[in-house]
Structure 1
Amino acid sequence: MKKIITIIVLLFGSATLQGQIAIKAETIYTVSGSPIKNGIVLVKDGKIENVGKGLTIPEGYKIFETKVLSPGLIDAKTLVGISGSLNIPTDQDQLDKTSPIQPELRAIDAYNPEENLVKVVRDYGITTIHTGHGVGALVSGQTMIAKTKAGTVETVIIHPLSMLAMTLGPSVSSNFTSPGTKAKQIAMIRTEFIKAQFYQKKQSDSDTSKRPAADLKMDVLVKLLKGEIKALITANSSNDIMGAIRLAKEFNFKLVINGAAEAYRLIPEIKAAKAEIVLHATMARNGGDMVNMNRESAAILTAAGIPVSIESGFEAYVPKTRIILFEAGQAMAHGLSFDEALKTITLNPARLLGIEKRVGSIERGKDADLVLYDGDPFEYLTKVCVVIIDGVVVKEGCK
């Protein structure tokens, strides 16, 4: 029987006050606590005003009724807004191949909030994305965090600089004549980090006349060495994952392993390194350096006490992006519990990105980023019917 969501709008007075919303849900998945049955969420001025059972709905609130309510979904790593839907050179800004090491490239200078793919993922409940420069260069550039609402970069952004995107593996050697081997990849990165260490030391010289001129590349690498940002290193084979761990240990930076196809083989090493994991899309193909990927990886890593965030990643072909709601559902089908599957696309990435005080769960005072479904979010036939970002309805209708 087809599930139906009933959306009831009650208007009190001449007009509904913008941003004042009440949502009645048969099940509210707060993520931070136990599900609430037959609960209510109140939204005011872009924030979650209250959540619970038996709440009084103030006059003038726009009322929605739904089967299921969850926090807005968070894509832990995507290229949406940088890589466009047309799949032509003019909308593919995710990878500059003029040099294998370009930490100075800023995602905010390339991000297009009006790109069609931003709307596509928003309509599937994704309200926050971690996007930026992509896979295939030793250091491809910076990443950023943004809401998927319409606007300019300045109005949608949460953090303009989140992480530094890096890659170890065969995709680098296929894009550049040098490095041509794994050893050369590591050597080139180490060389730049050592330069950054000397640059940092000289910049702190008490004699200002001896300080070097500002260097955009070095400035970003110093931020990484100082722990102000994290290194997002795409590494899939166990060999490349260990290379990333050795680099992080030598230069004492915060490590996020992206892709992590063979992470299930290195659980003790990953835990010892305190590395965080952004796992490849569950339905990615087994091939190349992901030939040994395991569809049970999310369940295996979670059971070992390693928090997992699931990414949409990057598709070189149309439609250019995966949908994390489906990917998390597949992870659930391969051993992950419902609660943990929902965390991989809500609270876990929020914590990874350092934005858990704003998003990732339904709690009083957090941003009113909410998704209304006509059934179980991970059921194939369920539809996302309403999406709310910062208290504003940005999608309405179960089509």
Structure 2
Amino acid sequence: MKKLNIVLAILWGFALIGQQTPADKQSEPITIEGAVAHLGNGKVIENSLIMFVDGKITFVGDAKMKIARIGKVINAKGKHVYPGFIAPGKSLGLVEVNAVRASDDQDEIGDIIPHIRSLIAYNAESQVVESMRPNGVLLSQITPQGGRISGTSSIVQFDAWNWEDAAVKVDDGIHLNWPNTFRRGRWWMGEPRGYQPNKNYQKDVDEVKSFMGNSVAYGKTIAKESNQPFEAMQGLFDGTQKLYIYAHGQREIMDAVTSAKDAGVKHVVLVGGYHAHKVTDFLKENDIPVLVRFTHTLPFFEDDDYDFTFKLPKILVDAGLLVGLQNSDASNFQTRNLPFYAGQVVAQGLDRETALQLISSNNAKILGIDANYGSLEVGKSATLFISEGDALDMRTNQLSKAYIDGRDLSLETHQTELWKRYMGKFEGK
């Protein structure tokens, strides 16, 4: 009983200091004038004019054009405007404190559970979620973790009372952790340390193939009894969902993509792809985009270049692949640093606007929400923000305004409140 009371007290604490109240629906037209507009599609307008009405962008162009300004006019001269950044493949809103099991819904019991929907467990009032917005991360793919097939993800925006209001695209894809050909030695059982061949690799692969084959067969027949896992897979075969395959090795990547295509999966996305640079021709032939996971970590192997993980996104972009940044090795709190991961890629030689695409329009295309999000274009959602400087640089990523579907967001969070409090303390106020 005492432990239960402690847990309830912690959760009550979350409720008391939860997310800011969602913004009201856009009530008047807004014009942003004078900012350097980074459109998210590779283009830049040095002296821009952007207008949006009822949550939709109605004009994007040069401020020198003789066109009537409408509604509230924001003078953003010397500042920068960006589309809202998108973080794919994260368990944001599914776990608040790892040590408090009652606040952790990112993993469910079972190994093959495609029917588990992450969206219904999403906490729109999470402190972790609200901390994304001051850095320009305004949307995310809420993704379950663990097991062979973790479940089904959905895409949300970060300004809502509940998961129903937050949803941008419901049940967009299923996440498959492909078996590894190598595994770390279990030294506590007397095995050598380091990597060694996985003797069960083919068995694990056959299990996945069998499940996909049975799912296909289930969809072609009139089943006497409902099978939720098989039913959840049907969107992969009719093209309404994507299969996100987590794989790193050259053999794993080729086996995974080939198996999925043979089973009739219409849309496949490779997540991770540590050795994707070795099979770029294969990936292009099969039209496979890549979400790079490890951009701020040490190389996997001793003979890799020390900066290989930093360079990988540029290598894949130069090879002609559609590339986005996911960086799943970072904790949920660190997802707010997504723009700085893109900035690191710039330091490796990638063009700045191309690097921006890795967290805006490219991620939107990969997730299938590019019709409304990911770039500043007429007809798309007014999900954007104004930064005092370069948003890919942590020294100048200072937001003054942010909008989701035209709604003027609060940029206050629990973290900013603490920052102001203790800055005042140490400045002697």
Deviation string, structure 1 residues 258-312 (Cα, Å, up to 9, x no partner): 01111111111211222111111411343489x8863211111111110101014
Which residue of structure 1 lines up, in the alignment, with residue 293 of structure 2?
A: 280
Q: Is the 8 A contact 1:85 1:117 kept in 2?
A: no
- How is 1:245-256 mapped onto 2 (pairs within 5 angstroms)? 245-253=257-265, 254-256=267-269
Matched, 1:145 2:155: yes
Which residue of structure 1 lines up, in the alignment, with residue 205 of structure 2?
A: 186
Larger deviation, residues 354-363 vs 278-287: 278-287
Matched, 1:348 2:362: yes
> Which residue of the other structure, out of 296, 301, 317, is the alignment partner of 2:316?
301
Which residue of structure 2 lines up, in the alignment, with residue 371 of structure 1?
A: 385
Deviation string, structure 1 residues 193-241 (Cα, Å, up to 9, x no partner): 12112212213xxxxxxx4222211111222123221110111222321
> Which residue of the other structure, out of 118, 121, 127, is the alignment partner of 1:116?
127
> Which residue of the other structure, out of 213, 224, 242, is the alignment partner of 2:254?
242
Q: CA RMSD in A?
A: 2.8
Q: Is the 8 A contact 2:57 2:382 kept in 1?
A: yes
Query: Structure 2 CA distance, aligned partners of 1:81 and 1:99?
Result: 21
Deviation string, structure 1 residues 313-340 (Cα, Å, up to 9, x no partner): 2546x74645210111111111211111
Could you tell me the TM-score, scaled by structure 2's length? 0.79
Going from structure 1 to structure 2, the CA distance change for 1:84 and 1:236 (only over 3 Å counts) comes to farther
Query: Structure 2 CA distance, aligned partners of 1:181 and 1:322?
Result: 38
Query: Structure 1 CA distance, aligned partners of 2:388 and 2:377?
Result: 22
Alignment partner of 2:204: what SS?
Answer: helix
Query: Structure 1 CA distance, aligned partners of 2:127 and 2:411?
Result: 17
How far is the alpha carbon of 1:31 from its aligned partner? Answer: 2.5
Query: Structure 2 CA distance, aligned partners of 1:81 and 1:247?
Result: 32
Could you tell me the TM-score, scaled by structure 1's length? 0.85
> What fraction of aligned residue pairs are identical, expressed as a percent?
25
> Which residue of the other structure, out of 409, 424, 429, is the alignment partner of 1:394?
409
How far is the alpha carbon of 1:351 from its aligned partner? Answer: 1.1
Structure 2 alignment gaps of length 5 or more: 1-25, 185-197, 421-429
How far is the alpha carbon of 1:88 from its aligned partner? Answer: 2.6
Going from structure 1 to structure 2, the CA distance change for 1:312 and 1:124 (only over 3 Å counts) comes to farther
Q: Is the 8 A contact 2:152 2:172 kept in 1?
A: yes
Query: Structure 1 CA distance, aligned partners of 2:157 and 2:313?
Result: 25
Name the aligned partner's letter for residue 262 of structure 1. H
Name the aligned partner's letter for residue 373 of structure 1. S
Query: Structure 1 CA distance, aligned partners of 2:95 and 2:179?
Result: 21
How far is the alpha carbon of 1:388 from its aligned partner? Answer: 0.9
Structure 1 alignment gaps of length 5 or more: 1-16, 204-210
Q: Is the 8 A contact 1:281 1:324 kept in 2?
A: no
How far is the alpha carbon of 1:246 from its aligned partner? Answer: 2.2
Going from structure 1 to structure 2, the CA distance change for 1:298 and 1:173 (only over 3 Å counts) comes to closer
Which residue of structure 2 lines up, in the alignment, with residue 385 of structure 1?
A: 400
Which residue of structure 1 lines up, in the alignment, with residue 214 of structure 2?
A: 195
How far is the alpha carbon of 1:172 from its aligned partner? Answer: 12
Which residue of structure 2 lines up, in the alignment, with residue 130 of structure 1?
A: 141
Query: Structure 2 CA distance, aligned partners of 1:83 and 1:73?
Result: 21
Name the aligned partner's letter for residue 186 of structure 1. V
- How is 1:1-399 mapped onto 2 (pairs within 5 angstroms)? 18-32=27-41, 34-54=43-63, 55-58=67-70, 60-65=71-76, 67-85=79-97, 87-96=99-108, 98-134=109-145, 136-169=146-179, 181-203=200-222, 211-253=223-265, 254-287=267-300, 294-315=309-330, 319=333, 321=335, 323-382=337-396, 383-396=398-411
Name the aligned partner's letter for residue 204 of structure 2. Q
Query: Structure 2 CA distance, aligned partners of 1:180 and 1:120?
Result: 43
Q: Is the 8 A contact 1:32 1:361 kept in 2?
A: yes
Alignment partner of 1:345: what SS?
Answer: coil
Going from structure 1 to structure 2, the CA distance change for 1:229 and 1:27 (only over 3 Å counts) comes to same
Query: Structure 2 CA distance, aligned partners of 1:84 and 1:121?
Result: 14
